[in-house]
Structure 1
Amino acid sequence: MENNMRWSAIAAILGTSLSLMAVPAQASESIQGQWYTKGKRAVVTIAPCGQNMCGRLTRFIEQPKNGVSTDVNNPDPALRKRKLVGLPILSGFVPDGKKWRGKIYDPESGKTYRSIVTAGKNGTLSVEGCIAMFCQAQTWTAAK
């Protein structure tokens, strides 16, 4: 009798864990890789950084319009001499359903925005920068 109770408890535990595993998860598509920004002006490399995903400006295809290669618009004077190449512009991205949520830094304005990144079909990323409820999106394409 005691063995039956033990097996019933094991079956109940296994049944519970199996039923939890059977629930389909809406996993986020990977955003890792190298991506051309809008207009193929630059390449951003997205990779894990700790438990999150982050992106760094890897190289320019088209040099900045003002010819400046440092983070001159940063609100922190101590950071204004940082080189743009290697600059972290995506930070703290975590999966949320089919989207990734984190922050995006715009070196042209020196501002950081709440951001949502979604992997699309055909090697694209939808990259949004948001202020309150208003978001502006760009489509980035896979760099080859």
Structure 2
Amino acid sequence: MGLKKLALIAASATALLASPAAAQSNIDGVYKDSDGYTEITVAPCGNARCGEITRILKRKPGEPTNDVHNDNPALRKRPILGITILKNLRWDDDVWRGEVYNPEDGNTYRTEVRPAANGALEVKGCVTLFCRSRIWPAAR
């Protein structure tokens, strides 16, 4: 076997055995929540990914603009705009795992986040064994 062939085989084997980090799905971008009330920007934050409410598209009828449902009374006066709702997302077993904060009920849930069709994002929030998925379309 020639040296060139051996080098080609070695390069191919290295590509096949590339680290899982190289296969991470990119979720960075700007999305609308499933009801179209806010835009969420997903971007790096330290060694993880986070999603922050970066724009209010329309007000939810009857809802104030502050985080009134938060379990922590000290946080109830903070504005919804700027809240980090996706926290500590880390690539694990072909999905981004972390936490999602829901300002509608003030609770934080385990989450799995992955790209969906047409540039959207699938966000699944879980409590114990019960999960609920939402599709956040890409903001255009």
User: TM-score when scaled to structure 2?
Assistant: 0.84
Match of 1:128 in 2: 124
8 Å CA contact 2:116, 2:135 repeated in 1 = no
Within 5 Å, give how 1:21-60 maps onto structure 2. Answer: 22-23=16-17, 25=20, 27-60=23-56
Q: CA deviation at 1:74?
A: 0.7
8 Å CA contact 1:28, 1:97 repeated in 2 = no
8 Å CA contact 1:35, 1:140 repeated in 2 = yes
8 Å CA contact 1:27, 1:97 repeated in 2 = no
Instruction: Give the distance between the partners of 2:33 and 2:128, measured in 1 at CA.
Output: 23
SS for the counterpart of 1:122 is helix
1:89-109 deviations in Å (ceiling 9; x for gaps): 010000123310000000110
Stretches (4+) displaced over 3 A? 18-21
Within 5 Å, give how 1:93-132 maps onto structure 2. Answer: 93-132=89-128
Instruction: Give the distance between the partners of 1:120 and 1:98, measured in 2 at CA.
Output: 13
Unmatched 5+ stretches in structure 1:
1-14
Unmatched 5+ stretches in structure 2:
1-9
The higher radius of gyration belongs to 1
User: TM-score when scaled to structure 1?
Assistant: 0.81
Query: Sequence identity, in percent?
Result: 37
Report how many aligned residue pairs link the two structures.
129
